[in-house]
A and B are shown apart, each in its own frame.
Chain A
Amino acid sequence: MGVTARLEMGQGDRTAAVRGFLRRLLDSQAVGAVLVAQPLPRKRLRMPTLVTDPERLEGADPFSPCFAVNGARLAARLSRKPMGVRWAAVMRPCEVRAFIEMVKLKQAGTDEAVLISFDCPGAYPTREFLRTGGAETAGDTERFLRQAFSGEAPDPGLSPACRACEHPVPPFTDVHIGLLGGEAGTFLQIEGRTAAGEALIAAAALPPAEPLPSREAALGALIARRAAARDELFARTEAAVATIEGAAAYFADCLLCTNCRVACPVCTCRECVFATDVFEHDPFHVLRLAERGGLLKLPSDTLFFHLTRLAHMSTACVGCGQCSNACPQGIAVMEVFRTVARRTQQAFGYEAGRSLEDPPPLAVFREEEFTEAVGIPAAPAGGGGPGRTPGSEGGRG
């Protein structure tokens, strides 16, 4: 399935071209609203906005290297119950992938929302963006895109998550806008990957196009460069947190403010278990803990908090880096989560955000897996043993 179309670039400004596309969507009433990032009056950060008036798309700046919040969280809230109109969400690949996870965790819906993603150039950490001035205008964004897609070494100021992200294109989306390769030509390649996506391209009346070979090559090089950075990140982080002592030192400065979990798009709990009575320790209990070593660091449970969060969401982690962004103590949270998430997702043959069809690993029970961990050898006949099906009693022997 899928169509490829061309989106004319005008003066070579990709942002303007996409604004035009979005405007056509609203104008044609293909969608009733568009979720897209833009700066607000007298503010420099780009924040997600829900735009209904085509005129108000003027400031839309979705490719700006500013990534203050993972929009999947917001898109999820907007899609969980009916809005009454079809609407489009312009999101980075990591946001789209997080949104997919949210759908599978029943926190988001796909009935009305149409996902529009783009070749992601990456972004600066929010503080870095504010400190350096970032991209003030749309013209700055275009300069940033040129630099990001130039094939040269990435700006070292870019967020570590983005530098190590091998998903500049999401595995699943409705519409994908190819920014890469646009420098050379006069148009952007735009794909409708699903029926909903095709419908938007049809509504915008975009002419068909052949896939750009130059884009494919550039994309391959970009992914290779980022994958190398990712592997370096894994190696470095694994060495740092391989032991409990290492991990404790890594998170030593944690205040248990839980900002990382608030910023995390796939932490879907209504309230974190660390904020409930489960962790309201009795004073006598705390005293006994202190007595063990004669000293107890407070707040306690900080490493436990991160380990628990890893246990809960590392199968769904998309590596967007908002946890690091949110940490007031400057702890490199993302590095640990990505490193662990790669392992947990590999273990289940799962990849966060890959598709709507793969069931979340923990909702599935398979009798014969991790036999080395559970200590039960596989049954030789492979017998009446059920496959990886949800909720089969056969597996709970």
Chain B
Amino acid sequence: MKRRVGRAVVVGAGIAGIRAALDLAEVGYGVTLVDRAPHPTGLLGRLDSQFPTDRCGLCRMLPRIERDAASAHCLRRGFFHERIDLRLNTEVAAIEGEAGRLRVTLRRVSGGVDPERCVGCGRCAAVCPVETPDAFNAGLTLRKAIDRPSPHAFPDAYALDPEACTRCGACLEACPTGAIRLPGAERRSFRILVVDDELSVRDSLKEWLEAEGFSAAMAASGPEALAALEAESFHLMLLDIKMPGMEGVEVLERAKRMRPALDVVMMTAYATVETAVEAMKIGALDYLIKPFDVASLIPKVAERFERFAAAEDLPLTAAAVVLCGGSEGYDPLSGKNPFGYGALAGVLTQLEFERLLSGTGPTGGRLLRPRDRQPVGRIAWIQCVGSRDLQEGADFCASICCMASIKEALRAKAVAGAELEATIFSMDVRTPGKSFQRYRERAEELHGVRFVRARPHSVTRGPEGKGLRIRWVEAGGGCREESFDLVVLAVGRRPAPVVAEAAERLGLALNPWGFLVPEPFSLCRTAHPGILIGGTCGGMADIAETVIQASAAAAEASLRLHAAGGGAAEEEKPPAALSEHPAGEPPRILAVFCRCERSADAPALPDPVLHALRRDPEVAAVEPVAPLCTAEGRLGLAALLSRAGANRLLLGACRLLRHPSPLREIEEASGLPAGWIETADLALWAGETRPDAHDARFALQSGLVRLKNAEARETEAIPITRAALVVGGGVAGMTAALAVADHGVAVDLVEAADRLGGNLAWLTRTLEGHPVPSLREDLEARVKRHPRIRLHTRSRVVQAEGEVGSFVTLLEGPQGDVRRIEHGVVILATGGREAPVHGFGRGESPAVMTQAELERSLSAGTLEAAALEAVVMIQCAGSRREPRNYCSRVCCPTALRQIAALRERRPGLRAAVLYRDLMTPGFAETAFTRARQEGVLFIPYRPERPPEVRPAGRAAVVTVEEPILGRPLEIEAQLVVLAAGVVPTLPRELAEAYGARLDRDGFFEEADPKWRPVDGLKEGVFACGLALSPRTIPEAVATAQAAAVRALAILGRERLPSGRIVARIRRSLCSLCEQCIEACPYGARRLDPERRQVVVNPVMCQGCGACAAVCPNDAATLEGFSARQMFGVIEAALG
């Protein structure tokens, strides 16, 4: 295993931070991941399910490559990666310097629980007198000021809420391991000695200092002060100059001789200022002129304290910093219309509702109204509370709430029964993603979720205090009222406070809503080359887009690391040599038990349990040891093993040892391979009760039987061809090729056309106004001159085979010449194009054209704008209905941009947009607002009554049903523009040649639509750009960078090691029924027809065990889970 030199800092451990950190760690870099919170995973840690699976899939982010570097358990509980230094309760105090050499200072949040020492016994929470709203449950339940941050945190360390803590100290006494530090404890440990002969001065200083949390001791004279300094240590002395007996200057001299490091501030009357200046020459730091007040004293003391505290700061050098500060929910109480939130029981935010539905929520997963616990029959969702709202200063779309509400409606029906009535009030139902529209329609048609196009006016208490009344205005103008049991506010999002702090510290630009502004054509670059935007602090996005964006930021960060010399590798310690421990050696097991020293009342193991171990002929010795969570305990293991002549190790300890990092140290200390060490959680920590004899016996016996039948083998590795093939030379393909090649890895870039650029060839500018042609020229020039990129234009893939690490592709060139390319990964960037569209007067009237056609004539200058009187944009012309039932995401913003472009050429041009739901997620909403302000007409139509177009000379007449008037409206326009949407151009044969699959619309099917959005299910195959889904240029660039960094995790090494737990085949037992091949979800098994054997690719195998389950006769086995081991575990469980 090799580790690259270099480190990046990722700020914020939500999903974006975790994704960026994992990507960098998988490429091989060290990462420091910091978060202020005591538990990672941010917002997603609190959501039980995500659409479209309506389940949680966080764990799918865990590495598949070199997966043993990470702990493979539930990410919501916490996570571990050997190259990620996760620092919770930590914030960034400073970032200075430039890309490649950033100096980052980390500081622990004041007060908290040391997770390394906390054993999760809960005594602190039991004695804590403070109850406070539980942030994990969005305030719906109470927790103690010191409590578990989430019910599933692992290791289940407790956390302290500094806001709620009253510093009573009860928990300090209860904690058996001394793991707790009260907030402000740092100030209390800063000791100040006040030396003054006047009692009133001493008293007021003591009062002031202690009110600020400092410790202050008093001395009335010089000798008294010196005596105090002799007896105790102080950090600061406030010393009066004019004192009877011994003068201040003399005290200073003698004090400095005794304690040279002591900081001294002189206190002086105006008359003796000169003396004070003299005093500074002999070592005083500063002086204060009497009479002084608290306001002038405290800053000076605080400044000294800061220096003292800074000694505990952690300075780091990093090549790049990825800011993943995230966002937080809008508080409805802060706005003009809170919709009864806070006043009426049953008005909740989305997050509160998610917690209400959760099995770990306040009602244990039953849907009951908070406070009165009444059953719920009707729920309303009100969208856009605090977003798409100029009054609230939120002229942007939060992008996530529409789909979240639909999912919540479905989840509510799943929890409370199908008869639950769910109504969603919204202006538009925004479904701008691949599967979103169908999900919405399923909700509507299959599950009866009701969608009402309205912005409700208010929520009030119903008649007789029952229910919640919602009033809204219908399309026709009438007013309507209905009662609901529960109202869920889909509140908007705001950037987290850290975003503004970071922007100010680093001089980064913020947009009017406080989000970071990325550079043109990028979602992650800032004006500072070393600082990257990860996740939603650059704008709101759903999970998949956040994950993509975070990976893109990781790709940029990786490039900074590479540029800063990160390519050089250093050797890591090799794993324990197996040759010393041949697998055939009979097991001789050493069983050891922690003697917990954290508390005097640590329990001991019951005798019968020990006896059962001792009589086992394969147990060589049973020994108590010093705690294994300490270095002392771990270092003693090797000697014990050799004394007992043992070759396997059974550890009886507490849950602390289940954490991967001490386990890894034990592996190193014992010199045994990982599979020959087993851990039994015996609850040997300072818990309240003795370990349960049955549980302890089970834990030990199951560990024992696993050891007896352990077959530790060398982990396998497969060779990697360190080269990438990128298919498609559009913006995504070029970006991906450059991102890989800039890391020094060879790339073959294949383009079917004779020139690079794809759709960039006809696009003029982005919605933000950045010119596209210059992007194309820049990318094309960089690709062409890049020494690591081989460009194959007018070429196509004719044949391909292979697996991750070793693909072989045959390319056919322009003259029919065939070239053989060997590569380790493939990135499919085959793009897409405007969908063909029929109807809407197309072909009948010269006035009707598609968006792409308009774009081309705009850039060619062939459009006679001056002749235009009116333009009509028809959105969803052929899309968002079967068979193309998805939103293409780009057409609504394009329509707005094209209207603006036309009006530049023809001021006063009348414009109308006929639409179903206007899809302007994120800041595209601003363009929508501007268009409305500038008099563009927006008329919604129903899909069953689409607009009709008939030719009228050179013009055309568009008829549409006007919902407010309730009758048809005719618009004569010289230009009718059809938004046809995007279709992919990914040939099925090409995808299948690499083992990739297409979805029903022909887009690349991701391994997981949310959590692995650019990976194929088959390892080593990636996709980006329009091949993945419709998207804008910056979004396509992000997918390309994401695909590149995912590819680099594979291409960064010569050989790719397998995980420790992989499937194997006992060939003598295999009857070649091939059921295991069918069952393998990762495509890691195939039949080798020549040898007539089933073979497993050890790297693609993820150790899931599906093959072992389907194999009837144990020919397919899973390392560490052999039948003998599992039988033994079951027997142990049965007692």
Contact = CB atoms under 8 A, between A and B. Distances in A.
B435, B1007, B1075: most-surrounded residue (chain A CB, <10 A): B1075
Given A284-B616, A312-B1112, A278 B1124 contact: yes
A282 B1068 CA distance: 23
Interface stretch (B407-415, B767-775, B794-802): B407-415
A269, A272, A382, A384: most-surrounded residue (chain B CB, <10 A): A384
Nearest to A301: B1127
A268 interface: yes
Contact of A270 (B52, B54, B1071): B1071
A363 B1110 contact: yes
B57 A391 contact: no
Interface in A86-128: 105-107
B410 A381 contact: yes
B443 interface: yes
Interface string A270-293: 111100111000101000000000
A397 B443 contact: no
B1069 interface: yes
Nearest to A283: B617
A396 interface: yes
Given A107-B1071, A270-B1069, A380 B447 contact: yes
B54 A396 contact: no
Nearest to B1114: A273
A291 to B, nearest CB: 10
Contacts of A269: 1069, 1071, 1112-1113, 1115
Interface string B395-435: 00000000000010011011000000000000000000001
A377 B801 CA distance: 40
Contacts of B51: 381, 383
Interface residues of A, number: 38
B1114 A383 contact: no
Interface stretch (B268-276, B634-642, B972-980, B1077-1085): B1077-1085
Contacts of B1072: 106-107
A229 B205 CA distance: 102
Contact of B1079 (A273, A379, A381, A391): A391
Contact of B54 (A106, A276, A383, A394): A383
B50 to A, nearest CB: 10
A318 to B, nearest CB: 17
B282 interface: no
Contacts of B1082: 393
Contact of A391 (B708, B1078, B1114, B1124): B1078
Interface string A226-259: 0000000000000000000000000000000000
Contacts of A277: 1124
A350 to B, nearest CB: 14
Contacts of B1074: 106
Nearest to B708: A282
Contacts of A391: 1078-1081, 1083, 1106
Contacts of B1083: 391
Contacts of B1122: 278
Interface in B720-747: none
B57 A397 contact: yes
A365 interface: yes
B1078 A363 contact: yes
B489 to A, nearest CB: 22
B442 interface: yes
B1009 interface: yes
Nearest to B1071: A270
Contacts of B1069: 269-271, 273, 276
Contact of B1078 (A284, A390, A394): A390
Contacts of B1070: 270
Interface string B439-451: 1001100110000
B410, B411, B1071, B1115: most-surrounded residue (chain A CB, <10 A): B1071
B53 A276 contact: no
Contacts of B1123: 273, 278
A28 interface: no
Contacts of A272: 1113
Contacts of A381: 51-52, 54, 407, 410, 439, 442-443, 446-447
Interface of B: 51-57, 60, 407, 410-411, 413-414, 435, 439, 442-443, 446-447, 616-618, 708, 1007-1009, 1017, 1068-1075, 1078-1083, 1104, 1106, 1110, 1112-1115, 1122-1124, 1127
Given A105-B1075, A270-B1070, A273-B1069, 16 more contacts: A105-B1071, A105-B1073, A106-B1074, A270-B1071, A270-B1115, A271-B1069, A277-B1124, A284-B618, A362-B1075, A379-B54, A381-B410, A381-B447, A384-B52, A390-B1079, A391-B1081, A397-B60
Interface of A: 105-107, 268-273, 276-278, 282, 284, 312-313, 359-360, 362-365, 377, 379-385, 390-397
